Amino acid sequence: MLSALERLMEQAAEWSVTISETRETETSLLGFGECNGARVVLKVSKHEGDEWHSGNVLEAFRGDATVRVYQSDAGAVLLERLDPATELAPLVRGGRDEDATLILAQVISAMRNHEPPAHCPTVFDWARGFDRYIRLAGERGVPLALAKEAAQLYLSLAASQKRTMLLHGDLHHYNVLFDTNRGWVAIDPKGVVGELEYELGAIIRNPIEVPDLFLSRSIIERRLHSLTTALKLDYQRSLGWSFAQAVLSAIWDIEDGLEMHSEHSSLRLAQVIREMRQEI
């Protein structure tokens, strides 16, 4: 089996890309260079997973508030290079969370109403994470009662969706970058089919580096009110999805081998939202 670097260079040769710099992330290898006079990024996924078919997902969004695709294949995608590619997270750290929230609403609005590519998972497929965890019948960091409660709500919301569409699936402050020519642009979609209220869940539990902010009940309420008002979405369904996804996120972290404890930010968020829902 070829290494990520070997696959990167092989794909670069096939697509006539001249690589001048490489960078590595936990899940992928990035090659920065040029192709036919354009500045590009060649991304190769290290393993089959959520981003393996990200090229197909990005092509389905047709560049509407998403990074543009020049070429794609399973596990590899050639993208336009954004400049300066600044993340949205620094706005939050700088005290401009409301501005960041409105930018996310604008990005979501531009990305809505696209048809999914073939074989795109649905929110029902993602619910299997609950099944896997509960089936083991042991608590590995997420209380079993909490997992069952979240699973029940998640499936209830999934079964009562009205209009479904292609969603980014992991839209948050680190996956929205600024480009001088295009403005704020989304990157690294997982791709999932669901109602638009589902898309808000990742925003509510980010940026992960400032948990004291997103664990604040007033911030959760303000963010959701801003997002649902701007996008004309159902506040209660968005709140429910945010709770269920917080628990599912913790379960996925366990599956990824991360240590889980009661102070994990996703679990703490789930408890805050759980109390909010009980008071409604």
For 179, residues 6+ apart whose C-beta sits below 8 A from its C-beta are 82, 83, 84, 85, 185
What is the Cα–Cα distance from 198 to 3, expressed in whole angstroms? Answer: 35
According to DSSP, the residues that pair with 44 across neighbouring strands are 29, 76
> Please, are residues 229 and 109 in contact by the beta-carbon 8 Å criterion?
no
Distances (CA, A) of 158 to 171, 197, 198, 244: 19, 11, 9, 11
Alpha-carbon span 197 to 162, nearest angstrom: 11
The phi and psi torsions of 21 (rounded to 5 degrees) equal -160, 145
Residues β-bridged to residue 176: 186
Please state, as a whole number, how many other Cβ atoms lie within 10 Å of the Cβ of residue 272.
19
What six digits make up the tokens of 161? 């969706």
Alpha-carbon distances of 278 from 144, 221, 265, 275, rounded to whole Å: 19, 14, 20, 5
37 CA to centre of own chain:
31
Q: How many CB atoms lie within 10 A of CB 46?
A: 17
Tokens read off for 228: 């649902």
Q: Is there a catalytic annotation at residue 50?
A: no
Q: How far apart are CA 70 and CA 92, in angstroms?
A: 32
Spot the catalytic one: 50, 64, 73, 170.
Answer: 170
Catalytically annotated residues: 170
